[in-house]
Amino acid sequence: MRKLNKYIAFALLLALVSFTSCSSDTIESKPAKIDIPKISNQSEALLNLFTNSGDYINGVSSPYLISAEEVNDDKSNFLLIDTRYHEDYVNGHIDGAINVDREMLIDFLKSVNIYQYQKIIIIDNTGQAAAYITSMLRAIGYGSTYAMKYGMSAWSSKVPNQWAKNVNNKYANYLTSEPTKKPKKGAYPTIETKGRTISEILEIRAEEEISYNFAVTIDKLIENYDDYYIVNYISESRYNTKHLKGSVWYQPKKSININTDLSTLPTNKKIAVYCYIGHNGASLTAYLRLLGYDAYSLRFGANSFMYNFARSNKWATYNASDVVMNYELVIGDVPSKEKKAKANTIINPDLNFKHHEVVLPDPSEVCD
């Protein structure tokens, strides 16, 4: 009986092999198509992501600054990215700094092994655009990014100092101690991108906003005062002492959150954010623009219109004698004077900087 069963099993196996080998039909293998539903409320999705993944804008170390002294002490371990105009870079930059256009920055970072560096340092003229860019990059996952405080104005006295000519005391008649109440909570902005996943949406938003002219000067703000909802982003006690008329106080690292006062910001009006020196304001402005708010940072913060008052009351102010170092500058296109330096090996003409004729804008409109 056992032998019979074996013969039957063997015969069936031969029949199966014969059938499959003689068949002219082939079985086509098609990749599985996964249809990812599009996120309907993209702004709210970003908000939830930020809130549930560290809330970086309200982090203890926000706005993630690093001093020129710290950069100088450890620059060989940092990826130094200089986002200034190419002409400024050629006239003098930090040894090892690579000149990258803001529009190309995200693609550039994708092309580099960033894990060989302890930190990514963003460098500009004054630190404000660097704080804006740093905020954008941290939002999309580059958590080791820092802005060099005060920019190249702090690196060397040989670099044209934009801080010295922009601290001011005008518009004293626009100052008051009378508070302005926050409006009632309302809706969040609506954004629409082609992204289907939250990471796609976030990167698209960052690519759209990273090179935006995000700042407003005090002169432009005063000239168009009624067009702006003004956010005062300093301590409450100092807000109560003196602030721009009509400005509304928001507590740094707390108020701008889905669970607190974020929804009191208008979605139908420009928002001007000001802090002490512009770094916090620029960082917050980047966050708000990612979410779809029409936000702008006041260049040089309160230093641009109430410098003497701020200094006499020991607020954060720019002071060249405390800030400006005299570190070495490298002249020319090449990142480092050391031929074998790591920075010299990762230059990519397609990603570093647009080598075209640059038409310089009105200095008052430059976001640096």
With tokens 């620029």, the residue in question is 282
State the total domains in the chain: 2
Convert the pLDDT of each residue in 167-179 to its tens digit. Answer: 999 898 899 999 9
Q: What is the CATH number of the domain that holds 133?
A: 3.40.250.10
Distance, CA of 126 to CA of 146 (rounded, Å): 14
The answer on 140 and 230 residing in a single domain is no
Task: Reduce the DSSP state of residue 345 to 3 states and report it.
Answer: helix
Domain that holds residue 229: 172-312
Convert the pLDDT of each residue in 143-163 to its tens digit. Answer: 999 999 999 999 999 999 999
The answer on 296 and 269 residing in a single domain is yes
- Domain final position from 297, 312, 327: 312
The answer on 207 and 142 residing in a single domain is no
Please state, in angstroms and as integers, the Cα–Cα distance from residue 66 to each residue in 59, 62, 80, 326, following that order: 15, 11, 12, 17
The answer on 307 and 249 residing in a single domain is yes
Convert the pLDDT of each residue in 217-270 to its tens digit. Answer: 999 999 999 999 999 999 999 999 999 999 999 999 999 999 999 999 999 999
The answer on 333 and 240 residing in a single domain is no
Token pair in block for residue 83: 């986002």
The answer on 332 and 303 residing in a single domain is no
Token pair in block for residue 258: 């889905």
pLDDT grade for 368, boundaries at 50, 70 and 90: low
Distance, CA of 229 to CA of 266 (rounded, Å): 8
Q: Is 357 domain-assigned?
A: no
Mean pLDDT for the stretch of residues 54-68 = 95
The answer on 53 and 151 residing in a single domain is yes
Please state, in angstroms and as integers, the Cα–Cα distance from residue 114 to each residue in 80, 92, 210, following that order: 11, 24, 19
pLDDT at residue 20 is higher than 80? no
The answer on 298 and 205 residing in a single domain is yes
